[in-house]
Structure 1
Amino acid sequence: MAKPNKKGPTRTVDIFCAKCKVPLFKYRKGGKGALIKCFKEHIVEDFTQVTCTCPSCGQAFARECLIRGAPALKMIGGKVSFK
């Protein structure tokens, strides 16, 4: 399988915790669909101290995994929102 494009998309979105609305990431997202996974190389700014855990409420919002050979965060449904 092909790895994700290194340059990546140019559009950035802000990802928030759905429970407490605290910012989690600034992410370069491609396409207009739902947020299912975040490739780590596309994360511009990371506001979390512990990976996959909200810094405010402590809720786990994702799982670490490999997708197409690249490290990524697989989002848990309903735990995050983005603008």
Structure 2
Amino acid sequence: MAKPNKKQPEKSVDIYCSKCRTQLFRYKKGGKGTLVKCFKERIVQNYVTEACKCPNCASEFARECMIRGAPAYKIIGGKVTTK
């Protein structure tokens, strides 16, 4: 399978925990769809101390996995919101 584009998308989004509204990431998102996965190489700012857990409420919002040969976070549905 093809790897994700090396060129970063122009659009940046802020990703928040839906439970406590704590900011988790600033992410370079491509496309118009909902957020399903976050490639680690596209994360601009990371506010998370422990992987896949919210630093404020400690709820799990994602799972670590490999997607198309690149490390990524697979987002659990309804656990995060974007702006």
TM over 0.5: yes
Q: CA offset at residue 10 of structure 1?
A: 1.1
Matched, 1:11 2:7: no
> Cα RMSD between the aligned structures?
0.5
Gaps of 5+ in 2: none
Aligned mates of 2:51, 2:10 — CA distance in 1:
24
Gaps of 5+ in 1: none
Q: CA offset at residue 7 of structure 1?
A: 1.7
Corresponding pairs, count: 83
Letter in 2 for 1:44: V
Q: Percent identity?
A: 63
**Runs of 4+ displaced beyond 3 Å:** none
Letter in 2 for 1:5: N
Matched, 1:23 2:23: yes
CA deviation map 1:14-45 (0-9, x unaligned): 00000000000000000111000000000000
What aligned pairs does 1:32-71 form with structure 2 within 5 A after superposition?
Answer: 32-71=32-71
Q: Secondary structure of the equivalent of 1:32?
A: coil
